[in-house]
């Protein structure tokens, strides 16, 4: 004799994944705070938690190279172009949202369907803040090394200042 619970397809709590995944919105928030590098880190974390270590490594590497290329492109632009930052930021966020959905939407849906939970967007923001450290360090380091002159040399007696 069967009852209505024989075909129940809800996940059992003991079968639910214990890890969380970052949603597309969380990845966008992390990117907004910490550049595309943060998106690469968050997507790599998702892949890592899903057991896809090769995909995690490739994703992180591509986003790291993409972030460096983006900043190189911005640096190479002429100084007389007055382009507002929003022209770079908004398309970047839409692209990250689309790439996240393209790469991981099915995995995230399956995770939720199996009883898994999504990570807090605040965690993604925190990762975005941490990603600012190497990004800003790279920018400041590049500007420091690229600087040809550190000011006017002033002779004061036999010394130069």
CB neighbourhood size of 84 (10 A): 7
Does residue 3 lie in a domain region? no
Does residue 7 lie in a domain region? no
Distance of CA 107 to the CA centre of its chain: 18
Mean pLDDT along residues 62-66? 97
pLDDT-above-90 percentage for the chain: 65
C-alpha–C-alpha distance, residues 112 and 24, integer Å:
13
pTM > 0.85: no
Q: How confident is the model at residue 85 (pLDDT cuts 50, 70, 90)?
A: confident
C-alpha–C-alpha distance, residues 45 and 131, integer Å:
14
Does residue 6 lie in a domain region? no
Residue 12 is predicted with a pLDDT of: 54
Closest CA to 99 of 154, 36, 57: 36
Give the number of domains in the chain.
1
Give the residue numbers spanning the domain of 83.
Answer: 17-160
């Amino acid at each position: 004799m069967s009852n209505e619970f024989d075909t129940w397809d809800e996940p059992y709590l003991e079968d639910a994944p214990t890890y969380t995944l970052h949603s597309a919105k969380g990845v966008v928030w992390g990117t907004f705070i910490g550049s595309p590098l943060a998106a690469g880190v968050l997507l790599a974390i998702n892949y890592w938690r899903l057991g896809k270590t090769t995909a995690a490594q490739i994703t992180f590497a591509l986003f790291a190279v993409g972030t460096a290329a983006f900043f190189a492109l911005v640096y190479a632009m002429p100084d007389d172009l007055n382009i507002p930052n929003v022209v770079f930021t908004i398309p970047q966020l839409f692209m990250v949202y689309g790439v996240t959905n393209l790469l991981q939407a099915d995995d995230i849906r399956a995770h939720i369907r199996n009883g898994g939970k999504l990570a807090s967007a605040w965690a993604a923001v925190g990762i975005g803040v941490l990603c600012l450290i190497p990004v800003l360090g790279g920018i400041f380091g590049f500007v420091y090394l690229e600087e040809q002159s550190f000011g006017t040399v002033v002779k004061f007696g036999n010394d130069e200042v």
